[in-house]
């Protein structure tokens, strides 16, 4: 996948050198970062074998709460920014907690619980903005999206969203790959019964993953509020699907037990580079009359291309898995003769590296 | 025979269980069972399928708490209400289906749930864990790097990882539930070697196995359970294959329970199976079943009976070999072919493969044949109901109406719906896999009566049963399987519990057969008279 991403970037750069121009890079990086923040969160859920469909609505809900509480414009209550942000984040965590409790304590299916949550919190957002739009005006929050460290010209080299994503991803990678909690998350996704029989508090770990997922969606929601500036109920629609696609492209299996934060980073990048690439990709040619023209992708193909990329990626992944499984089966049967004489300890296929 | 109290004082007791009782809805899985384990002892726990061995082990592992009774570990009475309690008492349970996370490596699996003190967010001490894991796997004779993912291991290697995991918790009591059931013989040997070594370090091992030879080689003592009750203990010196089998099956046959057998079975062959190689089986099998005959299939769980039936029914087509049904070639590639030829299967797991639980009696009865009642795709509810009513009447199914969802019926009546479904289609061969599992005594007798009736009507029944009493009571002849091989076919006059139990625990046909003085049939060979 990393290779695919690299090839995609090179192809786009060759077709249109503006792809690596400062403003496009800054913008694409910001998009990747904002998606990456909550894709990291949902990866936790997906690795345990669960799913969270509500995060797009949580992104919207967070932004709408901030606008409602802190905006000085029409519809805003004009409280200080920190009040809006704190309330919004608490709301996001509460959503994760409630959904997680329903899933783990009542044994409800994550798909249904979070589908309900997705619709319900979308509706809450709609009620808060009363079906309209609340503008953030020139709130200092907007600097969160446009500002950053180490300015080069007008654009920051490290935008705040990128730095936040960096922090979330680093923390996520640390927790997932280097702590006991991370180990438990993989174990639950790999074999839930084995985890339970090993004395792991499976329900508590799963609850935590839903809180993490919703919490990161809240953090992303703050960034989106700063970026968009005009909060309506439409903010964050279908974002959960983007996040799931990013996680799956990054190597998470919806069956659970597989995936890495680095993969999620790659997956989120692919999703956003495709989006950006559909606008940027161009082929220059000279027509019969000798006039130089530029051929561009039809923007109506956006969803077709995104969908096709996801399908092709998972198809390839499945084929690789099937080939590996077949090879392993062959090795196993070759190793174990039927009722043969006892041999010395069987050799193991010398394979290394990640799949 | 019962000697459990005589020598307890010699070596200190690691564990004793007294008066343990466990009830499940509708069944008493364990009734007043006692058991003891000394230091450095291998205690074999034996019993037929359903005797309560696994339940007992789950109680010790803290997976299912006991309803009554006392458990004493190292002299103290303990409560084992969850897995953690059990681990804290130094008890490690190694399940028959190995409990490892395939996506994690060996070291991670060994320390899963046991990463050391502290909260969830403490860092993993990878280096330390890997070093310790390496020592542990070396102790159990594994030479792999501990960073190998478990999904790459063979069943035997996984077993070793499970044992290493038990050792990592400093377990004093290790319970192994049929550890060799998925191992090749070389791997089994390796396991036995490790068990002997563990013994010398003072660890007590409770070893559950159906393989008599293993038990005789390994065990210091044998505890036998039957029908959820404690039968007795045998020291190894006094144990013999026959003695243990006798204790395992020891109930008296209640002959009036089963319908009387006919004087003789018809002689024309209905189903002939020649050199059929079932996927996964080491050798091909051959046998034949006559018209109107009930042919029993005895063996332990995992003996390959269900797989054989699935090949005959076309679920997993055979890799080679020949079958003839009623004189014509019969080669089902999928269940539809079998059904079209008149061969039907009532599967072992009624609830999973046999019925659509939330559909009604009528809908279930018509399911395989619903297309033939339908004109232009419209369901003909009238015919459906007629057929269902007939089925209910014929088998005397107790249901408030044919519109009742089968999930609300008792096990026995559910089984009758499965039977009715196939009877509506005039079967030639009916395969019944564990026809009375989970069915209460009264309903069992009724199912037996119906089976005998069907056989009298000329239907050939292949009955897979793990209940010896039932196998002997119902079958005209019995095919015995062991470890996916056909061990022999017993004629009606040879049907004794000892003979069948001997074959199914791995004795050779000749040994069982010698009393009759007849020609010993080789593997797969059948007396086609």
Measured CA to CA, the distance from residue B90 to residue B277 in angstroms comes to: 45
pLDDT score for A74: 79
Test the B interface: residue of A170, A335, A336 with most B CBs within 10 Å: A336
Q: Is B432 helix (H, G, I), strand (E, B) or coil?
A: strand
How close A91 comes to chain B (CA, Å)? 24
Indicate the pairing of strand B343-346 with strand B76-78: unpaired
Q: Which tokens go with A144?
A: 């969160």
Test the B interface: residue of A197, A252, A351 with most B CBs within 10 Å: A197
Q: B465 at the A interface (CB within 8 A)?
A: no
Indicate the pairing of strand B460-464 with strand A155-159: unpaired
Measured CA to CA, the distance from residue B300 to residue B277 in angstroms comes to: 20
Residues 327-346 of B with CB under 8 A from A: none
Contact A197 B61 (CB under 8 A): yes
Question: Can you give the pTM of this predicted structure?
Answer: 0.72
Per-residue DSSP letters for A54-95? -HHHHHHHHHHHHHHHH--STT-----HHHHHHHHHHHHHHH
Judge whether B261 and B448 are in contact, CB under 8 Å. no
Secondary structure percentages of chain A, helix, strand, coil, to 5: 70, 5, 25
Of A295, A254, A299, A293, nearest to A274 (Cα)? A299
Q: A18 at the B interface (CB within 8 A)?
A: no
Q: Is B281 helix (H, G, I), strand (E, B) or coil?
A: coil
Mean pLDDT for back-to-back runs of 10 residues, chain B (529 residues): 45 85 77 89 83 85 88 87 87 83 91 79 85 90 89 84 88 88 76 89 88 84 87 85 76 58 72 89 89 89 85 88 90 87 84 78 80 70 85 83 82 84 85 80 78 88 86 89 87 83 77 48 35
Residue at token pair 């003190």: B117
Contact A190 B104 (CB under 8 A): yes
Measured CA to CA, the distance from residue B429 to residue B293 in angstroms comes to: 10
Of B427, B167, B211, nearest to B300 (Cα)? B211
Q: A205 at the B interface (CB within 8 A)?
A: yes
Contact B99 A346 (CB under 8 A): no
pLDDT tens readout for residues B356-382: 877 888 888 887 777 777 666 677 778
pLDDT score for A208: 95
Measured CA to CA, the distance from residue A39 to residue A36 in angstroms comes to: 5
pLDDT tens readout for residues A125-146: 999 988 888 888 777 888 787 7
Is the pLDDT at A355 greater than 50, yes or no? no
Burial A302-314 (b: 16+ CB within 10 A, else e): eeebbeebbeebe
Q: Identify which of A181, A191, A345 has the shortest CB distance to residue B100.
A: A191
Which residues in chain B touch residue A198, judged by CB atoms under 8 angstroms apart? 83, 99, 112-114
Cβ atoms within 10 Å of A177's Cβ, excluding its own: 15
- B47: phi then psi, degrees, rounded to nearest 5: 165, 165
Q: B82 at the A interface (CB within 8 A)?
A: yes
Q: How many CB pairs under 8 A join A and B?
A: 108
Is the pLDDT at A194 greater than 60, yes or no? yes
Of A145, A146, A165, A143, nearest to A40 (Cα)? A165
Note the ipTM here. 0.72
Which residues in chain A touch residue B175, judged by CB atoms under 8 angstroms apart? none
Contact A328 B282 (CB under 8 A): no
Q: B319 at the A interface (CB within 8 A)?
A: no
The interaxial angle of helices A261-280 and A22-47, nearest 10 deg, is 140
Cβ atoms within 10 Å of B524's Cβ, excluding its own: 19
Residue at token pair 């969850």: B82
pLDDT score for A164: 93
Q: A349 at the B interface (CB within 8 A)?
A: yes
């Amino acid at each position: 996948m990393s290779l695919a991403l690299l090839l995609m970037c090179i192809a786009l750069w060759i077709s249109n050198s503006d792809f690596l121009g400062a403003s496009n890079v800054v913008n694409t990086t910001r998009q990747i970062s904002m998606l990456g923040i909550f894709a990291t969160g949902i990866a936790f859920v997906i690795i345990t074998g669960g799913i969270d469909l509500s995060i797009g609505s949580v992104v919207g809900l967070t932004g709408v709460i901030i606008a409602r509480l802190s905006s000085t414009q029409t519809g805003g209550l004009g409280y200080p920014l920190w009040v809006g942000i704190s309330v919004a984040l608490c709301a996001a965590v509460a959503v994760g907690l409630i959904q997680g409790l329903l899933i783990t304590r009542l044994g409800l299916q994550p798909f249904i619980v979070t589908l309900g949550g997705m619709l319900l919190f979308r509706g809450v957002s709609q009620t808060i903005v009363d079906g309209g739009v609340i503008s953030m005006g020139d709130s200092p929050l907007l600097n969160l999206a446009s500002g950053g460290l180490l300015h080069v010209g007008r654009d920051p080299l490290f935008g705040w969203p990128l730095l936040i994503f960096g922090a979330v991803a680093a923390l996520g990678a640390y927790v997932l790959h280097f702590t006991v909690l991370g180990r438990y998350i993989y174990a639950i996704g790999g074999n839930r019964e084995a985890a339970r029989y090993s004395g792991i508090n499976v329900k508590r770990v799963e609850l935590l993953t839903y809180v993490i997922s919703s919490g990161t969606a809240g953090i992303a929601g703050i960034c989106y509020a700063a970026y968009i500036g005009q909060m309506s109920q439409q903010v964050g629609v279908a974002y959960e699907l983007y996040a799931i696609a990013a996680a799956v492209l990054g190597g998470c299996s919806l069956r659970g037990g597989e995936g890495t934060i680095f993969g999620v980073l790659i997956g989120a990048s692919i999703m956003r580079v495709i989006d950006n690439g559909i606008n940027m990709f161009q082929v220059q040619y000279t027509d019969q009359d000798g006039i130089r023209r530029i051929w561009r992708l039809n923007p109506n193909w956006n969803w077709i291309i995104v969908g096709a990329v996801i399908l092709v990626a998972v198809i390839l992944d499945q084929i690789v898995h099937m080939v590996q499984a077949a090879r392993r089966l062959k090795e196993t049967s070759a190793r174990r003769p039927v009722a043969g004489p006892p041999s010395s300890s069987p050799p193991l296929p010398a394979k290394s590296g990640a799949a | 025979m019962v000697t459990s109290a005589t020598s307890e004082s010699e070596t200190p007791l690691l564990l004793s269980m007294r008066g343990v009782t466990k009830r499940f809805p509708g069944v008493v899985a364990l009734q007043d069972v006692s058991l003891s384990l000394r230091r450095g002892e291998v205690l074999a726990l034996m019993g037929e399928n359903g005797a309560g061995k696994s339940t007992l082990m789950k109680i010790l592992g803290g997976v299912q708490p006991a309803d009554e009774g006392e458990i004493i570990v190292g002299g103290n009475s303990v409560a084992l209400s969850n897995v953690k309690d059990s681990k804290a008492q130094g008890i490690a349970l190694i399940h028959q289906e190995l409990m490892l996370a395939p996506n994690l490596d060996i070291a991670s699996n060994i320390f899963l749930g046991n990463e050391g003190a502290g909260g969830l967010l403490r860092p993993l001490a990878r280096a330390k864990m890997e070093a310790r894991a390496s020592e542990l796997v070396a102790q159990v004779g594994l030479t792999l790097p501990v960073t190998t993912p478990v999904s790459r291991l063979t069943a035997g290697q996984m077993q070793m990882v499970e044992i290493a995991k038990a050792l990592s918790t400093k377990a004093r009591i290790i319970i192994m539930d049929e550890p060799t059931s998925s191992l090749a013989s070389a791997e089994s040997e390796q396991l036995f070697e490790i068990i002997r070594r563990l013994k010398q370090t003072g660890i007590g091992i409770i070893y559950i196995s159906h393989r008599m030879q293993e038990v005789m080689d390994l065990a210091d003592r044998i505890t036998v359970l039957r029908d959820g009750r404690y039968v007795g203990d045998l020291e190894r010196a006094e144990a013999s294959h026959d003695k243990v089998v006798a204790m395992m099956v020891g109930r008296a046959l209640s002959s009036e329970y089963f319908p009387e057998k006919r004087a003789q079975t018809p002689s024309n062959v209905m189903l002939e199976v020649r050199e059929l190689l079932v996927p996964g089986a080491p050798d091909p099998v051959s046998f034949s079943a006559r018209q109107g005959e009930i042919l029993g299939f005895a063996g332990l769980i995992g003996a390959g009976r269900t797989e054989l039936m699935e090949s005959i029914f076309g679920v997993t087509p055979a890799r080679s070999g020949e079958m003839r049904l009623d004189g014509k070639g019969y080669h089902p590639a999928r269940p539809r072919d079998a059904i079209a030829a008149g061969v039907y299967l009532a599967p072992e797991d009624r609830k999973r493969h046999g019925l659509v639980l939330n559909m009604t009696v009528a809908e279930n009865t018509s399911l395989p044949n619903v297309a033939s009642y339908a004109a232009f795709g419209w369901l003909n509810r009238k015919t459906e109901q007629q057929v269902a009513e007939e089925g209910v009447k014929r088998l005397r199914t107790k249901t408030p109406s044919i519109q009742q969802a089968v999930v609300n019926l008792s096990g026995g009546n559910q089984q009758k719906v499965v039977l009715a479904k196939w009877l509506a289609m005039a079967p030639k061969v009916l395969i019944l896999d564990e026809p009375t599992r989970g069915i209460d005594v009264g309903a069992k007798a009724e199912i037996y009566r119906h089976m005998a009736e069907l056989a009298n009507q000329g239907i050939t029944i292949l009955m897979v049963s793990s209940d010896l009493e039932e196998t002997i009571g119902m079958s005209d002849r019995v095919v015995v399987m062991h470890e996916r091989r056909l061990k022999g076919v017993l004629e009606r006059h040879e049907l004794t519990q000892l003979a069948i139990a001997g074959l199914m625990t791995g004795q050779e046909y000749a040994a069982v057969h010698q009393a009759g003085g007849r020609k010993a049939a080789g593997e797969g060979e059948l007396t086609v008279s």
